[in-house]
Amino acid sequence: MLIWNIILTIIGVLFLIADFWVCVHKKFSDLMGMGWSVLSILIIMFSIIPGFSSWSRLMDRPECIAVFILFVVILFDAFLISMMISQLSMKNQELAMQVSLLNQENEKILFEIEELKKKPETKL
Protein backbone atom coordinates (compact mmCIF):
# COMPACT_ATOMS: atom_id res chain seq x y z
CA MET A 1 0.00 0.00 0.00
CA LEU A 2 1.39 3.33 -1.06
CA ILE A 3 -0.21 5.23 1.80
CA TRP A 4 1.89 3.37 4.41
CA ASN A 5 5.07 4.13 2.50
CA ILE A 6 4.13 7.81 2.45
CA ILE A 7 3.27 7.78 6.17
CA LEU A 8 6.56 6.09 7.05
CA THR A 9 8.47 8.54 4.86
CA ILE A 10 6.81 11.45 6.65
CA ILE A 11 7.66 9.90 10.03
CA GLY A 12 11.29 9.46 8.98
CA VAL A 13 11.50 13.05 7.73
CA LEU A 14 9.90 14.34 10.94
CA PHE A 15 12.40 12.42 13.06
CA LEU A 16 15.25 13.77 10.92
CA ILE A 17 13.99 17.35 11.31
CA ALA A 18 13.49 16.85 15.05
CA ASP A 19 17.00 15.41 15.31
CA PHE A 20 18.56 18.41 13.55
CA TRP A 21 16.51 20.83 15.66
CA VAL A 22 17.53 19.12 18.90
CA CYS A 23 21.19 19.00 17.83
CA VAL A 24 21.17 22.71 16.95
CA HIS A 25 19.81 23.55 20.41
CA LYS A 26 22.50 21.35 22.05
CA LYS A 27 20.06 18.92 23.63
CA PHE A 28 21.74 15.90 22.05
CA SER A 29 25.33 14.84 22.25
CA ASP A 30 27.05 14.46 18.90
CA LEU A 31 27.01 10.67 18.99
CA MET A 32 23.35 10.49 19.98
CA GLY A 33 22.40 12.95 17.23
CA MET A 34 24.35 10.95 14.67
CA GLY A 35 22.60 7.75 15.72
CA TRP A 36 19.14 9.27 15.37
CA SER A 37 20.07 10.74 11.97
CA VAL A 38 21.14 7.32 10.73
CA LEU A 39 17.95 5.74 12.09
CA SER A 40 15.80 8.43 10.43
CA ILE A 41 17.54 7.89 7.10
CA LEU A 42 17.03 4.12 7.43
CA ILE A 43 13.32 4.66 8.09
CA ILE A 44 13.10 6.82 4.96
CA MET A 45 15.01 4.22 2.94
CA PHE A 46 12.74 1.40 4.11
CA SER A 47 9.73 3.35 2.94
CA ILE A 48 11.10 4.52 -0.43
CA ILE A 49 13.25 1.70 -1.84
CA PRO A 50 10.97 -0.91 -3.46
CA GLY A 51 12.94 -3.91 -2.21
CA PHE A 52 12.62 -2.78 1.38
CA SER A 53 9.01 -1.58 1.20
CA SER A 54 7.38 -4.97 0.66
CA TRP A 55 6.22 -4.85 4.30
CA SER A 56 3.49 -2.37 3.33
CA ARG A 57 1.39 -5.20 1.82
CA LEU A 58 0.95 -6.61 5.33
CA MET A 59 -0.63 -3.39 6.62
CA ASP A 60 -4.16 -4.29 5.50
CA ARG A 61 -4.88 -6.15 8.75
CA PRO A 62 -5.99 -4.14 11.82
CA GLU A 63 -3.49 -5.77 14.16
CA CYS A 64 -0.64 -4.68 11.91
CA ILE A 65 -1.90 -1.12 12.04
CA ALA A 66 -1.96 -1.30 15.85
CA VAL A 67 1.61 -2.65 15.88
CA PHE A 68 2.68 0.13 13.51
CA ILE A 69 1.16 2.79 15.77
CA LEU A 70 2.79 1.16 18.79
CA PHE A 71 6.13 1.17 16.93
CA VAL A 72 5.83 4.91 16.24
CA VAL A 73 4.92 5.66 19.87
CA ILE A 74 7.84 3.59 21.17
CA LEU A 75 10.19 5.28 18.71
CA PHE A 76 9.00 8.71 19.84
CA ASP A 77 9.45 7.74 23.50
CA ALA A 78 12.94 6.43 22.78
CA PHE A 79 13.76 9.76 21.12
CA LEU A 80 12.61 11.69 24.20
CA ILE A 81 14.45 9.36 26.58
CA SER A 82 17.67 9.61 24.60
CA MET A 83 17.33 13.40 24.61
CA MET A 84 16.96 13.35 28.41
CA ILE A 85 19.92 11.00 28.80
CA SER A 86 22.05 13.21 26.59
CA GLN A 87 21.11 16.34 28.57
CA LEU A 88 21.85 14.61 31.88
CA SER A 89 25.17 13.38 30.55
CA MET A 90 26.17 16.90 29.50
CA LYS A 91 25.09 18.29 32.90
CA ASN A 92 27.06 15.56 34.64
CA GLN A 93 30.17 16.47 32.64
CA GLU A 94 29.71 20.15 33.52
CA LEU A 95 29.31 19.34 37.21
CA ALA A 96 32.44 17.19 37.12
CA MET A 97 34.40 20.12 35.71
CA GLN A 98 33.03 22.43 38.41
CA VAL A 99 33.94 19.95 41.15
CA SER A 100 37.43 19.66 39.72
CA LEU A 101 37.85 23.44 39.76
CA LEU A 102 36.53 23.64 43.32
CA ASN A 103 38.90 20.88 44.45
CA GLN A 104 41.80 22.72 42.84
CA GLU A 105 40.79 25.94 44.59
CA ASN A 106 40.40 24.06 47.89
CA GLU A 107 43.91 22.61 47.58
CA LYS A 108 45.29 26.07 46.88
CA ILE A 109 43.58 27.49 49.98
CA LEU A 110 44.81 24.60 52.14
CA PHE A 111 48.33 25.15 50.86
CA GLU A 112 48.13 28.85 51.72
CA ILE A 113 46.85 28.01 55.22
CA GLU A 114 49.77 25.62 55.75
CA GLU A 115 52.19 28.31 54.60
CA LEU A 116 50.65 30.79 57.04
CA LYS A 117 50.95 28.28 59.88
CA LYS A 118 54.63 27.78 59.14
CA LYS A 119 55.46 31.48 59.29
CA PRO A 120 56.27 32.76 62.77
CA GLU A 121 53.62 35.04 64.13
CA THR A 122 54.59 38.69 64.27
CA LYS A 123 53.18 40.93 66.93
CA LEU A 124 52.36 44.52 66.29
Model pLDDT, residue 78: 93
Q: What is the mean pLDDT of the chain?
A: 87
Model pLDDT, residue 14: 94
What CA–CA distance (Å, rounded) separates 105 from 26? 29
Is residue 50 predicted with pLDDT exceeding 70?
yes
Is residue 124 predicted with pLDDT exceeding 60?
no
Confidence tier at 60 by pLDDT (50, 70, 90): confident
- Cα dist. 108→2, 83, 103, 114, 118 in Å? 69, 38, 9, 10, 16
Backbone φ and ψ for 52, nearest 5 degrees, come out as: -90, -20
Classify residue 49 by its DSSP letter.
Answer: S
Model pLDDT, residue 27: 83
What CA–CA distance (Å, rounded) separates 117 from 11? 69
Contacts of residues 57-62 at CB distance under 8 Å and 24 or more positions apart, as own/partner, are 57/1, 59/1, 59/4, 60/1
Cβ(11)–Cβ(76) below 8 Å:
no
Confidence tier at 122 by pLDDT (50, 70, 90): low
Run of H or E including 10? helix 2-24
